[in-house]
Structure 1
Amino acid sequence: MTHSIRLRSESKLLINRSFVKFGTMTFAWFAFSIGVPAFAMAADTDKVFRAGAVAIDITPETFPVSSSGSMTHRVAKQAHDPLHARCLVLNDGQTSIALVTCDSCMIPREIYDSAKQMASEATGIATDHMLCSATHTHTAVSVAPTFQSLVEDDYLPFLAKRIAAGITQAHSQLEPARIGWAIGNNPSQVFNRRWFLRPGVEINDPFDLGTDRVRVNPSANSPTLLQPAGPVDPEIPVLAVQALDGRPIGMWANYSLHYVGGVPPESLSADYFGEFARQFTKMIDATESEPPFVAAMTNGTSGNINNINFFEGRDHQPPFEQIRLVANDVAASALVAYQRIQFEDWVPLTMRETEIEVGVRRPNADEIDRAKQLLADAGPGPKNDRKLIYAGETLDLAEYPPTMKMKLQAIRIGGLAIVSSPCETFVETGLTIKRSSPFQPTFTIELANGYNGYLPTPEQHALGGYETWRAKSSYLAVDAEPQIRETLLNLLDDLNDSQPESTVAR
């Protein structure tokens, strides 16, 4: 299904569009011709929208644990704040979808697939109608093999079961609800971390190629800085559901910010994603809501975005303070949008999922020989030198298959659209999808339904830099981004051209 949607014949397009335009008349004539009773046709007017939300704890039950988000192995001895899988289930009377965001750096597809299967068996929701993602906090339990971080194998089945339990519980709490959305904005907390430097400034890479033209995370306010190598996306889409009496049920926000950090190395934390949920809940006075109100922040397209103001720098903050400041500021912006929402009694739900196969950048024989020599000269033990770390990554990538399969999804919630990517997607991709989508608004949730590393655009690949350096965190072919972007836009076009599932006679 990768590129077939746009290749529909002109006649099929005309038929689809005619059906959308005259679908009610067509169905009425068909019902009359076969003698369907009038009350059967009128049943569609008694539509009830329902929603349920749960934040289920996924904090490990025992410590110490391997902690993600570092090039070297790191061990956490405690959790500063709880980790959650925040689950939202929506139902329009015929179609159910589940949205899940987990306080994790990245989660492999196998864990999500296992969780979805268990949840589907318990709820009847189809697995291809579940979108599960990671927030990308860099201080969660390590569940994916990246650099020298060791996977906490004992945690994996626990995580899958908890995600499934969260979806199941949210489904059990479905109640008549109203839904709405609005767009917030906060340009103060997002900065492109890839920078052009002044001519003559050396830019090194771990492969000694000398071809990089940008530096990632340079020194802030340095005289060597010239200009950012890309844009930012300050939008904060906000999707919310409330009970018929106005009680808030859940709110799903989206922001293209990598993470904040400032967490001691021996602690787990949900980073600003978890603090955002707590702050927003207080702002709308929903701390005593029953069932508990669930706020969630999903990660947009932040592969090249972080919270460092490279233009001016910023004061050093004590642990967790920058997280609190950012979460409070972004939650306040989300609140402005939330207060602007016009809730609707019913909207149709439609979802599409497809699988595509993309290329993998594997090392050649010379690159493998260089990596082996570097590691042999260094001897055994953990590696702190960047060249040696990437030498290890080179040998790991040599064992990768030549192609990789991934899931892509698109969701239509009334006039709102959401697409998903299993990558650390660059902001340029998200902005292009927003501009090109037939739905306004549209936003992207990254690190969804699996983990396939960074997704630079071909133009950013040509500039080099950390996100392009071949590793378990960056291995997709240069043309992967156009394939993924085109497929997501195809799915959106398909949703736009087709009759919503909930209005089709079955």
Structure 2
Amino acid sequence: MKPTSASLLLAALALFLPTQVFAELQAGAVIVDVTPTKFPVLVNGSMVSRSVSTVKTKINARAIVVADDEERLAIVVVDSCMLPRPLLDEVKKLTAQRTKIPADHILISATHAHSAPSSLACLGTNADPEYVPFLRGKLVDAIAAAEANLEPAQVGWGSENAADYTALRRWILRPDRLRNDPFGNPTVRATMHAGTNWDNAVGESGPEDPELSLISFRATNGRPIALLANFSMHYFGDASLSADYFGLYCNGLQEKLGKKVDKDAPPFVAIMSHGCSGDIYRRDYTKPKDQWAFTDDINEYAQGLIKITLQAYNNINYLQDADIEMAENRLQMNYRVPNKQLLEWSQKIVKELGDRLPKTQEEIYAREQVILHERQSTEIVTQALRIGDIAIATTPNETYALTGLKLKKQSPLAKTMVIELANGGDGYIPPPEQHLLGGYNTWAARSAGLEVLAEPRIVESDLELLEKVSNQRRKFYQQSRGPAAGAILALKPAAYWRLDEFNGPRARDASGNQRDAIYEPAIAYFLEGPESKSFCKADETNRAVHFAGNRLQARINDLKDQYSISLWIWNGMPLDAREISGWMFSQGPNHGLAAYGGHLGLGGTEFPGKLVFMNGSDRKLHAGQTAVERWTWNQVTLVRDGDTVKVYLNGKPEIELKSAPGKPGPMLEQLFFGGRTDNQSNWEGRLDEIAVFNRALTPAEVKTLAQ
């Protein structure tokens, strides 16, 4: 066939057009024994100093080096509680001199085993002076050995839900059960393991992240090279010295998958990195102990995670042509230093200590105040890397599960892993609102001393790095709309707050009317809401907020005397705790109880568990007939039609008032959710899917809201 002029032109252009070139991926991995050789050795993870002279399981450093035609990077996970940035910076510098890997292309993280040698001074324990230089050399050896094992490779991603193996350990206490901090002040509103006593607590302080994610590397012939896993669960707890469940998990996987390795090839390497676990533990305090998914046997726990891992591993699809990219930021962070009065108190205690190590909580935190005062600030490292369409982000902290979810759900790449305690051990970084709830995770010390805004600064740094390595913009997170959300929108609300935010101060209006509401500070975000399958699509979790003494404020100026309020409620207070368990909705001027206001709540010792409505004029409680069970989701609708007020529970009428005062006016524009206008007996629990209508809904319409 004679070529046309058009085809000749295209052929000529092709000579000058760039050809897409795929990078050949390479990977190598190794395990290096970093068990100390000199005993006794200090062990980190306790309030007071301790040392051991026995070894239960080996302590290892597990390394992967990944390369393409242009870049090389290393990922190392060490059986350690925490690793200090200065030590890791030395390791990276020495490694860069010995290998072809730049210092800023090396990620080194700790598993957070509380039964491993101490490499970082924290609370009552110092770093072991003989172990630290030993570990430094071993880490350089590990990276160099992994680089020497580089070979053509393929990479793939796997993920499974392991919800039975992780749960919230930080629970919010009742407002009448506050505890003292180490300085004698009653600031502890949320604390670890408070859920063991249901009478003391009102609910979890945040979400969990049940994802067990995997990055798998294999040779081009299918032989497994390495598997990097990531899971958000704090240490299990084991006898020293040991690698905790992290080591058992890795050894178990190597036994199962390592059989496929050729005898002349390097051994298969399994690695478990630490996910965002600052407020996470293995015990699900929402259930009685006899309903927990597993016993206190660490081997059973590790085997359960291995079983789930294999389910994900067997479904992995691999890419051979994958390029890599890595970037890091170094941020200056201030410490929360003591004021003059606290410093003087601390200095007096430390002077009395002399050369003795602290033994009491008061002594430990007094010494920490002096150390923070001396240091004032520090430098932290954040990183992001990409391998093909897979990303990893890091924090140098004990990071809450919520923080990890923020990064995963906003990352430009759907396949994103978040590794905490990487490139440093800079303590807990609670989201800012969690500082208001207090507790061990917030007490200023090297274990939790960074500025209040450290968490959002680190999240933003990681998102910027993820954008850089992927050359894509971050995602905007918003819940999908399931049928229940669609039913609310079909009724044309004046405002609709889904309460699916990661943080405040704004609650986005989903109605399209741009009437955002404002969160007051003491709120816990992103907890599980009602009926996920109804309000969202697919496997997405519907999200809600937990009110811990503060409210959500809104102003709607066209309600007049005909309006409706729809919301889902979840009460956390025991019904015998106070007269009113909590007020969920209130209308009127702030800080008072005007005669024309209206207030909707849930009874406590009076009308236990029943809906109650109170007019500001007569202050009389009008109660429903049906008791609401604690820690369950229920739908409530209040309908005002002139002087008539009706309150519905799950679509059925509960309260009806024929002559309720409340003339329209500017003060009735102010709406409060999660508390009363005068802040008396504010809501202690969750609210979700709040909708306001500028008309009186019919009983049939109310019924659709509860379906």
TM range, smaller chain: 0.7 to 0.9
Q: Is the 8 A contact 2:195 2:203 kept in 1?
A: no
Q: Select between 339-348 and 303-312 the one with higher mean Cα deviation.
A: 303-312
1:213–1:292 Cα change, 3 Å = same
Whole-Å Cα distance in 2 between the matches of residues 119 and 108 of structure 1? 17
Whole-Å Cα distance in 1 between the matches of residues 289 and 54 of structure 2? 28
Equivalent residue number for residue 314 of structure 2: 339
1:314 Cα deviation after fit: 4.3
Aligned residues: 457
- TM-score normalised by length of structure 1: 0.85
Q: How does 1:61-72 map to 2 (within 5 A)?
A: 61-72=37-48
1:30–1:212 Cα change, 3 Å = farther
Whole-Å Cα distance in 2 between the matches of residues 348 and 132 of structure 1? 21
1:149 Cα deviation after fit: 0.6
Equivalent residue number for residue 284 of structure 1: 257
Of 224, 227, 245 in structure 2, the residue corresponding to residue 272 of structure 1 is 245
Once the two structures are superposed, what CA deviation does each residue of 1:352-381 show, in whole Å capped at 9, x if it has no partner?
A: 111111221111110012223445678874
* Residues 1:297 and 2:281 are matched in the alignment: no
* Residues 1:367 and 2:351 are matched in the alignment: no
1:199–1:321 Cα change, 3 Å = closer
* Residues 1:32 and 2:8 are matched in the alignment: no
* Residues 1:89 and 2:73 are matched in the alignment: no
* Residues 1:198 and 2:189 are matched in the alignment: no
Q: Is the 8 A contact 2:382 2:395 kept in 1?
A: yes
Whole-Å Cα distance in 1 between the matches of residues 303 and 100 of structure 2? 38
In structure 2, what residue type is equivalent to 1:44?
V
Of 480, 483, 492 in structure 1, the residue corresponding to residue 466 of structure 2 is 492
Equivalent residue number for residue 680 of structure 2: none
**Which has the higher Rg, Structure 1 or Structure 2?**
2
1:148–1:332 Cα change, 3 Å = same
Whole-Å Cα distance in 2 between the matches of residues 458 and 156 of structure 1? 33
Per the alignment, in what secondary structure is the counterpart of residue 454 of structure 1? coil
Per the alignment, in what secondary structure is the counterpart of residue 329 of structure 2? strand
1:441–1:42 Cα change, 3 Å = closer
Whole-Å Cα distance in 1 between the matches of residues 249 and 267 of structure 2? 16
Q: Is the 8 A contact 1:221 1:311 kept in 2?
A: no
Whole-Å Cα distance in 2 between the matches of residues 30 and 244 of structure 1? 31
Equivalent residue number for residue 224 of structure 2: 248
In structure 2, what residue type is equivalent to 1:389?
I
1:284 Cα deviation after fit: 2.6
In structure 2, what residue type is equivalent to 1:364?
N
Q: Is the 8 A contact 2:178 2:188 kept in 1?
A: no
1:384 Cα deviation after fit: 3.5
1:313–1:168 Cα change, 3 Å = farther
Q: Is the 8 A contact 2:257 2:268 kept in 1?
A: no
Q: Is the 8 A contact 1:281 1:287 kept in 2?
A: no
Whole-Å Cα distance in 1 between the matches of residues 444 and 101 of structure 2? 38
In structure 1, what residue type is equivalent to 2:441?
E
Equivalent residue number for residue 592 of structure 2: none
Q: Is the 8 A contact 1:56 1:162 kept in 2?
A: yes
Once the two structures are superposed, what CA deviation does each residue of 1:127-180 show, in whole Å capped at 9, x if it has no partner?
A: 111111111001111111101112111111211111111110111011111111
Whole-Å Cα distance in 1 between the matches of residues 204 and 337 of structure 2? 29
1:198 Cα deviation after fit: 3.1
Whole-Å Cα distance in 2 between the matches of residues 108 and 369 of structure 1? 28
1:378–1:308 Cα change, 3 Å = farther
Gaps of 5+ in 2: 1-11, 474-707
1:292 Cα deviation after fit: 0.9
Equivalent residue number for residue 224 of structure 1: 200
Q: How does 1:96-111 map to 2 (within 5 A)?
A: 96-111=72-87
Of 258, 279, 291 in structure 1, the residue corresponding to residue 234 of structure 2 is 258
Gaps of 5+ in 1: 1-27, 34-40, 500-506
Q: Is the 8 A contact 1:182 1:237 kept in 2?
A: yes
Whole-Å Cα distance in 2 between the matches of residues 244 and 324 of structure 1? 33
Per the alignment, in what secondary structure is the counterpart of residue 455 of structure 1? coil
Equivalent residue number for residue 696 of structure 2: none
Equivalent residue number for residue 400 of structure 2: 426
Q: How does 1:402-441 map to 2 (within 5 A)?
A: 403-441=377-415
Q: Is the 8 A contact 1:133 1:448 kept in 2?
A: yes
Equivalent residue number for residue 49 of structure 1: 25
Percent identity over paired residues = 37
Per the alignment, in what secondary structure is the counterpart of residue 298 of structure 1? strand
Whole-Å Cα distance in 2 between the matches of residues 394 and 285 of structure 1? 49
1:103 Cα deviation after fit: 0.4
Q: Is the 8 A contact 1:300 1:446 kept in 2?
A: yes
Whole-Å Cα distance in 1 between the matches of residues 186 and 14 of structure 2? 69
Greater length-normalized contact order (CA 8 Å, ≥ 6 residues apart)? 1
1:453 Cα deviation after fit: 1.0
Whole-Å Cα distance in 1 between the matches of residues 306 and 208 of structure 2? 18
Of 456, 466, 471 in structure 2, the residue corresponding to residue 482 of structure 1 is 456
Higher strand share: 2
In structure 2, what residue type is equivalent to 1:475?
G
Q: How does 1:11-26 map to 2 (within 5 A)?
A: none
Whole-Å Cα distance in 1 between the matches of residues 349 and 14 of structure 2? 74
Per the alignment, in what secondary structure is the counterpart of residue 46 of structure 2? coil
1:496 Cα deviation after fit: 2.8
1:299–1:453 Cα change, 3 Å = same
1:202–1:157 Cα change, 3 Å = same
Q: Is the 8 A contact 1:260 1:322 kept in 2?
A: no
- TM-score normalised by length of structure 2: 0.62
In structure 2, what residue type is equivalent to 1:32?
F
Q: Is the 8 A contact 1:283 1:335 kept in 2?
A: no
Once the two structures are superposed, what CA deviation does each residue of 1:15-39 show, in whole Å capped at 9, x if it has no partner?
A: xxxxxxxxxxxxx979839xxxxxx
Higher helix share: 1
Whole-Å Cα distance in 1 between the matches of residues 353 and 138 of structure 2? 42
Whole-Å Cα distance in 2 between the matches of residues 202 and 490 of structure 1? 39
In structure 1, what residue type is equivalent to 2:282?
N
Root-mean-square deviation over aligned CA pairs: 2.4
